[in-house]
Homo-oligomer: A and B are copies of this chain.
Amino acid sequence: MNLNLEDIARLAGVSRSTVSRVINHHPNVSPATREKVWQVIQEQKFHPNQIARMLATQRTQILGIVVSQTAAVFFDDPSAYFPTLIQGIAEVANQQNYSTLLWLGGSGEGENHESFHRQISHNHLADGLVLLSASASHPLIARLVDTPALFVTIERPRHFAERVSYVTIDNVQAARTAVEHLIQLGRRKIAIITGPLLNTDSHDRVIGYQQAMEAAGLAVDPRWIVYGEFNTDTGQRAMKSLLPLGLDAVFAASDQIALGVLQTLREAGVCVPQDMAVVGFDDLPAATATTPQLTTIHHPIREKGAYATRLLLGLIEGSVPEPQQVLLPTHLVIRQSCGALNAQDMANLHG
Protein backbone atom coordinates (compact mmCIF):
# COMPACT_ATOMS: atom_id res chain seq x y z
CA MET A 1 0.00 0.00 0.00
CA ASN A 2 2.63 2.53 1.08
CA LEU A 3 5.03 3.79 -1.50
CA ASN A 4 8.71 4.36 -0.94
CA LEU A 5 11.48 6.41 -2.46
CA GLU A 6 12.11 3.75 -5.07
CA ASP A 7 8.52 3.89 -6.30
CA ILE A 8 8.57 7.65 -6.60
CA ALA A 9 11.89 7.47 -8.39
CA ARG A 10 10.51 5.06 -10.95
CA LEU A 11 7.40 7.17 -11.52
CA ALA A 12 9.49 10.28 -11.94
CA GLY A 13 12.03 8.58 -14.12
CA VAL A 14 14.97 9.36 -11.86
CA SER A 15 16.98 7.56 -9.25
CA ARG A 16 16.13 7.09 -5.61
CA SER A 17 18.87 9.43 -4.46
CA THR A 18 17.51 12.26 -6.55
CA VAL A 19 14.14 11.91 -4.92
CA SER A 20 15.81 11.90 -1.55
CA ARG A 21 17.66 15.06 -2.46
CA VAL A 22 14.49 16.78 -3.53
CA ILE A 23 12.75 15.88 -0.31
CA ASN A 24 15.63 17.05 1.82
CA HIS A 25 15.97 20.27 -0.15
CA HIS A 26 19.44 19.47 -1.29
CA PRO A 27 20.82 22.28 -3.46
CA ASN A 28 22.42 20.07 -6.08
CA VAL A 29 19.38 19.25 -8.14
CA SER A 30 18.24 20.92 -11.35
CA PRO A 31 15.03 22.94 -11.20
CA ALA A 32 13.54 20.78 -13.93
CA THR A 33 13.92 17.44 -12.19
CA ARG A 34 13.06 18.99 -8.85
CA GLU A 35 9.78 20.17 -10.29
CA LYS A 36 9.06 16.84 -11.89
CA VAL A 37 9.78 14.91 -8.73
CA TRP A 38 7.63 17.19 -6.57
CA GLN A 39 4.81 16.65 -9.00
CA VAL A 40 4.90 12.90 -8.50
CA ILE A 41 5.26 13.27 -4.73
CA GLN A 42 2.18 15.45 -4.57
CA GLU A 43 0.19 13.19 -6.84
CA GLN A 44 0.99 10.12 -4.83
CA LYS A 45 0.66 11.92 -1.52
CA PHE A 46 3.99 10.43 -0.67
CA HIS A 47 5.46 10.86 2.79
CA PRO A 48 8.89 9.49 3.63
CA ASN A 49 9.00 6.80 6.27
CA GLN A 50 10.04 8.38 9.53
CA ILE A 51 11.42 5.21 11.01
CA ALA A 52 13.71 4.47 8.11
CA ARG A 53 14.87 8.03 8.17
CA MET A 54 15.63 7.74 11.88
CA LEU A 55 17.66 4.61 11.31
CA ALA A 56 19.67 6.24 8.58
CA THR A 57 20.27 9.58 10.27
CA GLN A 58 20.57 8.31 13.80
CA ARG A 59 18.24 11.10 14.84
CA THR A 60 14.63 10.69 15.86
CA GLN A 61 13.31 14.24 16.08
CA ILE A 62 11.70 13.12 19.30
CA LEU A 63 11.96 14.74 22.70
CA GLY A 64 11.17 12.74 25.81
CA ILE A 65 9.18 14.31 28.64
CA VAL A 66 9.69 12.51 31.91
CA VAL A 67 7.33 12.93 34.83
CA SER A 68 8.76 10.84 37.66
CA GLN A 69 5.90 11.55 39.94
CA THR A 70 3.34 9.70 41.83
CA ALA A 71 0.12 9.73 39.86
CA ALA A 72 -1.78 11.98 42.22
CA VAL A 73 0.60 14.87 41.83
CA PHE A 74 0.22 14.82 38.12
CA PHE A 75 -3.49 14.57 37.65
CA ASP A 76 -5.21 15.61 40.83
CA ASP A 77 -3.44 18.91 41.10
CA PRO A 78 -5.72 21.88 40.44
CA SER A 79 -2.67 24.08 39.85
CA ALA A 80 -1.99 22.13 36.66
CA TYR A 81 1.72 22.58 37.19
CA PHE A 82 2.86 19.62 35.11
CA PRO A 83 0.31 20.08 32.35
CA THR A 84 1.37 23.70 32.04
CA LEU A 85 5.00 22.70 31.82
CA ILE A 86 4.18 20.09 29.22
CA GLN A 87 2.26 22.64 27.24
CA GLY A 88 5.31 24.87 27.09
CA ILE A 89 7.51 21.99 26.02
CA ALA A 90 5.18 20.60 23.38
CA GLU A 91 4.67 24.02 21.88
CA VAL A 92 8.35 24.60 21.21
CA ALA A 93 8.93 21.01 20.20
CA ASN A 94 6.14 20.89 17.65
CA GLN A 95 7.19 24.22 16.30
CA GLN A 96 10.69 22.83 15.66
CA ASN A 97 9.31 19.67 14.11
CA TYR A 98 9.97 17.51 17.08
CA SER A 99 7.50 15.06 18.50
CA THR A 100 7.18 14.53 22.23
CA LEU A 101 7.27 11.20 23.97
CA LEU A 102 5.56 11.24 27.33
CA TRP A 103 6.87 9.13 30.17
CA LEU A 104 4.51 9.13 33.13
CA GLY A 105 5.58 6.92 35.93
CA GLY A 106 6.82 6.28 39.34
CA SER A 107 3.29 5.69 40.53
CA GLY A 108 4.40 2.56 42.31
CA GLU A 109 7.18 2.19 44.81
CA GLY A 110 10.77 0.98 44.61
CA GLU A 111 10.71 -1.79 42.07
CA ASN A 112 8.35 0.07 39.76
CA HIS A 113 10.39 3.20 39.96
CA GLU A 114 13.46 1.22 39.08
CA SER A 115 11.99 -0.37 35.99
CA PHE A 116 10.45 2.92 34.97
CA HIS A 117 13.82 4.62 34.93
CA ARG A 118 15.51 1.67 33.31
CA GLN A 119 12.93 1.77 30.57
CA ILE A 120 13.61 5.42 29.88
CA SER A 121 17.36 5.27 29.92
CA HIS A 122 17.50 2.23 27.66
CA ASN A 123 14.86 3.31 25.24
CA HIS A 124 16.99 5.42 22.95
CA LEU A 125 13.99 6.75 21.13
CA ALA A 126 14.47 10.36 22.09
CA ASP A 127 17.20 12.72 20.99
CA GLY A 128 16.92 14.38 24.36
CA LEU A 129 14.97 14.35 27.61
CA VAL A 130 13.26 16.99 29.70
CA LEU A 131 12.94 15.88 33.29
CA LEU A 132 10.10 17.63 35.06
CA SER A 133 10.85 17.92 38.73
CA ALA A 134 14.50 17.28 39.32
CA SER A 135 13.91 16.22 42.89
CA ALA A 136 11.59 13.40 41.86
CA SER A 137 13.89 12.33 39.04
CA HIS A 138 16.95 12.02 41.17
CA PRO A 139 17.64 8.32 40.53
CA LEU A 140 17.21 8.89 36.82
CA ILE A 141 19.65 11.79 36.85
CA ALA A 142 22.20 9.67 38.63
CA ARG A 143 21.74 7.10 35.92
CA LEU A 144 21.99 9.49 32.99
CA VAL A 145 24.70 11.82 34.14
CA ASP A 146 27.50 9.45 33.14
CA THR A 147 26.04 8.56 29.77
CA PRO A 148 26.13 10.58 26.56
CA ALA A 149 22.37 11.11 26.85
CA LEU A 150 21.27 14.72 26.52
CA PHE A 151 18.81 16.04 29.07
CA VAL A 152 17.74 19.10 30.96
CA THR A 153 15.87 19.18 34.23
CA ILE A 154 13.28 21.59 35.53
CA GLU A 155 14.37 22.69 39.00
CA ARG A 156 17.95 22.65 40.14
CA PRO A 157 18.85 19.08 41.07
CA ARG A 158 20.03 18.40 44.58
CA HIS A 159 23.02 16.46 43.36
CA PHE A 160 25.17 16.76 40.24
CA ALA A 161 23.95 20.35 40.00
CA GLU A 162 27.21 21.48 38.40
CA ARG A 163 27.18 18.74 35.82
CA VAL A 164 23.61 18.84 34.57
CA SER A 165 21.72 21.44 32.58
CA TYR A 166 18.67 22.84 34.26
CA VAL A 167 16.13 25.61 33.97
CA THR A 168 14.38 27.03 36.96
CA ILE A 169 13.28 30.33 38.35
CA ASP A 170 15.29 32.49 40.71
CA ASN A 171 13.55 31.15 43.78
CA VAL A 172 15.79 32.92 46.26
CA GLN A 173 15.24 36.31 44.71
CA ALA A 174 11.52 35.68 44.26
CA ALA A 175 11.00 34.71 47.88
CA ARG A 176 13.11 37.61 49.00
CA THR A 177 10.97 40.00 46.99
CA ALA A 178 7.78 38.57 48.45
CA VAL A 179 8.99 38.86 52.02
CA GLU A 180 10.48 42.32 51.47
CA HIS A 181 7.08 43.42 50.29
CA LEU A 182 5.56 42.29 53.58
CA ILE A 183 8.29 44.01 55.55
CA GLN A 184 7.83 47.25 53.66
CA LEU A 185 4.19 47.16 54.62
CA GLY A 186 5.17 47.06 58.26
CA ARG A 187 4.87 43.37 58.96
CA ARG A 188 7.42 41.93 61.35
CA LYS A 189 6.36 38.49 62.50
CA ILE A 190 6.34 36.64 59.21
CA ALA A 191 6.06 32.89 58.75
CA ILE A 192 6.74 30.79 55.66
CA ILE A 193 4.84 27.68 54.66
CA THR A 194 6.58 25.79 51.93
CA GLY A 195 6.87 22.47 50.11
CA PRO A 196 9.05 19.43 50.74
CA LEU A 197 12.33 19.89 52.53
CA LEU A 198 14.19 18.04 49.80
CA ASN A 199 12.74 20.04 46.93
CA THR A 200 15.22 22.69 45.81
CA ASP A 201 12.48 25.12 44.80
CA SER A 202 11.06 24.80 48.27
CA HIS A 203 14.47 25.02 49.86
CA ASP A 204 15.56 28.10 47.93
CA ARG A 205 12.40 29.94 48.85
CA VAL A 206 13.24 29.45 52.49
CA ILE A 207 16.70 30.87 51.82
CA GLY A 208 15.17 33.93 50.20
CA TYR A 209 12.83 34.32 53.15
CA GLN A 210 15.71 34.13 55.58
CA GLN A 211 17.77 36.60 53.59
CA ALA A 212 14.97 39.13 53.57
CA MET A 213 14.34 38.75 57.29
CA GLU A 214 17.99 39.03 58.15
CA ALA A 215 18.51 42.02 55.90
CA ALA A 216 15.72 43.75 57.77
CA GLY A 217 17.18 42.80 61.10
CA LEU A 218 14.21 40.64 61.99
CA ALA A 219 14.69 37.55 64.09
CA VAL A 220 13.11 34.34 62.86
CA ASP A 221 11.45 31.96 65.26
CA PRO A 222 12.21 28.42 63.99
CA ARG A 223 8.53 27.57 64.41
CA TRP A 224 7.76 30.07 61.70
CA ILE A 225 9.24 27.85 59.02
CA VAL A 226 6.88 25.04 58.08
CA TYR A 227 7.60 22.38 55.47
CA GLY A 228 4.88 20.32 53.83
CA GLU A 229 3.54 19.78 50.33
CA PHE A 230 2.67 22.37 47.71
CA ASN A 231 -1.05 21.88 48.26
CA THR A 232 -4.08 23.33 49.96
CA ASP A 233 -4.08 20.73 52.66
CA THR A 234 -0.64 21.76 53.85
CA GLY A 235 -1.82 25.38 53.86
CA GLN A 236 -4.71 24.56 56.14
CA ARG A 237 -2.79 22.35 58.50
CA ALA A 238 0.20 24.65 58.75
CA MET A 239 -1.90 27.74 59.27
CA LYS A 240 -3.77 26.07 62.09
CA SER A 241 -0.51 25.32 63.85
CA LEU A 242 0.69 28.86 63.19
CA LEU A 243 -2.45 30.55 64.53
CA PRO A 244 -1.40 30.68 68.21
CA LEU A 245 1.98 32.24 67.43
CA GLY A 246 0.71 35.79 67.02
CA LEU A 247 2.02 36.38 63.50
CA ASP A 248 1.13 39.34 61.33
CA ALA A 249 1.99 37.82 57.94
CA VAL A 250 2.43 34.53 56.12
CA PHE A 251 4.43 33.80 53.00
CA ALA A 252 2.83 30.79 51.34
CA ALA A 253 5.39 29.33 48.94
CA SER A 254 2.64 28.29 46.50
CA ASP A 255 -0.81 29.64 45.72
CA GLN A 256 -2.28 26.25 46.56
CA ILE A 257 -0.86 26.61 50.04
CA ALA A 258 -2.15 30.17 50.16
CA LEU A 259 -5.65 28.93 49.33
CA GLY A 260 -5.57 26.70 52.38
CA VAL A 261 -4.18 29.51 54.48
CA LEU A 262 -6.93 31.92 53.44
CA GLN A 263 -9.59 29.34 54.11
CA THR A 264 -8.28 28.58 57.57
CA LEU A 265 -7.98 32.26 58.40
CA ARG A 266 -11.54 32.88 57.28
CA GLU A 267 -12.81 30.06 59.45
CA ALA A 268 -10.81 31.40 62.38
CA GLY A 269 -12.25 34.86 61.87
CA VAL A 270 -8.90 36.43 61.12
CA CYS A 271 -9.19 39.32 58.67
CA VAL A 272 -6.93 39.45 55.64
CA PRO A 273 -5.05 41.70 55.15
CA GLN A 274 -5.85 43.70 58.31
CA ASP A 275 -4.94 41.09 60.91
CA MET A 276 -2.79 38.93 58.71
CA ALA A 277 -1.11 39.62 55.39
CA VAL A 278 -0.74 36.72 52.99
CA VAL A 279 1.50 36.50 49.95
CA GLY A 280 1.47 33.51 47.64
CA PHE A 281 3.66 32.06 44.92
CA ASP A 282 2.84 30.97 41.34
CA ASP A 283 0.15 33.43 40.28
CA LEU A 284 -2.33 30.73 39.33
CA PRO A 285 -5.68 31.71 37.83
CA ALA A 286 -7.16 30.82 41.22
CA ALA A 287 -5.23 33.69 42.79
CA THR A 288 -7.67 36.20 41.35
CA ALA A 289 -10.70 34.21 42.41
CA THR A 290 -10.10 34.48 46.14
CA THR A 291 -11.42 37.14 48.49
CA PRO A 292 -9.33 39.11 48.96
CA GLN A 293 -7.43 38.57 45.73
CA LEU A 294 -4.02 37.13 46.33
CA THR A 295 -0.80 39.08 46.12
CA THR A 296 1.68 36.60 44.74
CA ILE A 297 4.88 35.95 42.81
CA HIS A 298 4.32 35.37 39.14
CA HIS A 299 5.86 32.04 38.20
CA PRO A 300 6.38 31.63 34.43
CA ILE A 301 5.72 27.90 34.42
CA ARG A 302 4.92 27.55 30.75
CA GLU A 303 7.91 29.67 29.81
CA LYS A 304 10.09 27.46 31.98
CA GLY A 305 9.06 24.46 29.91
CA ALA A 306 9.55 26.35 26.68
CA TYR A 307 12.96 27.61 27.70
CA ALA A 308 14.10 24.19 28.80
CA THR A 309 13.07 22.82 25.45
CA ARG A 310 14.90 25.48 23.49
CA LEU A 311 17.93 24.77 25.61
CA LEU A 312 17.68 21.04 25.02
CA LEU A 313 17.35 21.63 21.31
CA GLY A 314 20.51 23.71 21.50
CA LEU A 315 22.33 20.87 23.20
CA ILE A 316 21.14 18.46 20.54
CA GLU A 317 22.18 20.72 17.68
CA GLY A 318 25.46 21.17 19.48
CA SER A 319 25.09 24.92 19.34
CA VAL A 320 25.55 25.32 23.08
CA PRO A 321 28.00 23.51 25.37
CA GLU A 322 26.96 21.40 28.32
CA PRO A 323 26.03 22.04 31.03
CA GLN A 324 23.80 25.09 31.00
CA GLN A 325 22.07 26.49 34.06
CA VAL A 326 19.48 29.18 33.78
CA LEU A 327 17.42 31.09 36.30
CA LEU A 328 14.32 32.74 34.91
CA PRO A 329 13.18 35.98 36.53
CA THR A 330 9.88 36.36 38.37
CA HIS A 331 7.97 39.37 39.59
CA LEU A 332 5.60 40.32 42.34
CA VAL A 333 1.94 40.77 41.47
CA ILE A 334 0.34 43.09 43.98
CA ARG A 335 -3.32 42.47 44.71
CA GLN A 336 -5.26 42.71 47.94
CA SER A 337 -4.05 40.13 50.42
CA CYS A 338 -1.24 42.22 51.85
CA GLY A 339 -2.95 45.56 52.17
CA ALA A 340 -0.66 47.35 49.76
CA LEU A 341 -3.67 48.60 47.89
CA ASN A 342 -6.30 50.26 50.04
CA ALA A 343 -9.88 50.84 49.06
CA GLN A 344 -9.00 54.18 47.53
CA ASP A 345 -6.30 52.65 45.34
CA MET A 346 -8.65 49.95 44.20
CA ALA A 347 -11.24 52.51 43.25
CA ASN A 348 -8.65 54.40 41.26
CA LEU A 349 -7.53 51.26 39.53
CA HIS A 350 -11.03 50.48 38.43
CA GLY A 351 -11.85 54.08 37.61
A: residues with CB less than 8 A from B are: 1-2, 47, 49-52, 54-55, 60, 62, 65, 71, 74-78, 80, 82-84, 86-87, 90-91, 94, 99-105, 107, 116, 119, 122-125, 148, 285-286, 302
Bound: A65/B103 CA distance, A: 12
Bound: A124/B52 CA distance, A: 11
Contact of A102 among B47, B49, B86, B302 (CB under 8 A): B86
B71:A75 contact, CB within 8 angstroms: no
A50:B123 contact, CB within 8 angstroms: yes
A75:B84 contact, CB within 8 angstroms: yes
| A to B CB contacts below 8 Å, 14 in the list | A2-B124, A50-B124, A51-B51, A71-B91, A75-B83, A75-B87, A80-B80, A80-B83, A83-B83, A90-B102, A90-B105, A94-B105, A100-B104, A101-B102
Bound: A76/B51 CA distance, A: 35
Using A1-B148, A99-B123, A102-B102 as known contacts, say yes or no to A74 and B51 having CB atoms under 8 A apart.
Answer: no
Bound: A278/B182 CA distance, A: 41
Within the complex, the shortest CB–CB distance from A108 to chain B, in Å, comes to 10
Within the oligomer, what is the number of copies of this chain? 2
Using A87-B74, A104-B94, A302-B75 as known contacts, say yes or no to A99 and B125 having CB atoms under 8 A apart.
Answer: yes
CB-CB under 8 A from A91, the residues of chain B are 71, 104, 107
> Which residue of chain B lies nearest to A125 when distances are taken between CB atoms in the complex?
B50
CB-CB under 8 A from A99, the residues of chain B are 101, 103, 123, 125
Interface centre among A90, A91, A123, A286 (most CB of B within 10 A): A90
Bound: A302/B71 CA distance, A: 11
Given A49-B124, A75-B87, 17 more contacts at CB 8 Å?
A2-B124, A49-B55, A51-B51, A51-B54, A71-B91, A75-B80, A75-B83, A75-B302, A76-B84, A78-B285, A86-B102, A90-B103, A91-B104, A94-B119, A100-B102, A100-B103, A101-B101
> Which residue of chain B lies nearest to A85 when distances are taken between CB atoms in the complex?
B75
Bound: A75/B104 CA distance, A: 17
> Which residue of chain B lies nearest to A289 when distances are taken between CB atoms in the complex?
B232
CB-CB under 8 A from A107, the residues of chain B are 91
CB-CB under 8 A from A100, the residues of chain B are 101-104
> Which residue of chain B lies nearest to A57 when distances are taken between CB atoms in the complex?
B51
CB-CB under 8 A from A86, the residues of chain B are 75, 102, 104
B94:A51 contact, CB within 8 angstroms: no
Bound: A101/B52 CA distance, A: 18
Using A51-B51, A94-B105, A104-B94 as known contacts, say yes or no to A87 and B65 having CB atoms under 8 A apart.
Answer: no
CB-CB under 8 A from A102, the residues of chain B are 65, 86, 90, 100-102
> Which residue of chain B lies nearest to A81 when distances are taken between CB atoms in the complex?
B75
CB-CB under 8 A from A50, the residues of chain B are 123-125
> Which residue of chain B lies nearest to A126 when distances are taken between CB atoms in the complex?
B99
Bound: A87/B103 CA distance, A: 10
What are the 6 A-B residue pairs with the smallest beta carbon separation, nearest first? Answer: A78-B78, A90-B104, A102-B102, A75-B83, A75-B84, A75-B87
> Which residue of chain B lies nearest to A285 when distances are taken between CB atoms in the complex?
B76
B47:A51 contact, CB within 8 angstroms: no
Bound: A286/B286 CA distance, A: 13
Contact of A71 among B87, B116, B122 (CB under 8 A): B87
